[in-house]
Amino acid sequence: MPRTVVKCSMPGCQRPATHKIAALWKDGGSSELKTYGYACPSHTDVALANARRRPRSRRLGLSESDGEIDAYPLQQVLA
């Protein structure tokens, strides 16, 4: 089976991503990483800064929580 290669989300960049830009979302016993983008080593800092500047207007339910946006190594996320 072919391995999927995730590309950097920055416009014009075709390099493989090494990080997922995401925030940990929780609802009771469920949790997942809410994706804001993917970044190669050259774009991790700028992709993270861009994601943190985005408005987070979604209203959360009483049992929901939304963590800080951070850069997660893809090897860790995909394991």
Confidence of residue 1 (pLDDT cuts 50, 70, 90): low
pLDDT attached to residue 62: 76
Q: How far apart are CA 1 and CA 30, in angstroms?
A: 30
User: Where is 48: in which H helix or E strand?
Assistant: helix 44-53
Question: Taken in order 7, 13, 19, 25, is the CA torsion positive or negative?
Answer: negative
CB distance 25 to 12 below 8 Å: no
Domain boundaries, the chain: 1-55+62-79
Per-residue pLDDT, averaged over 51-79, amounts to: 80
Percent of the chain with pLDDT over 70: 91
Predicted TM-score (pTM) of the model is 0.81
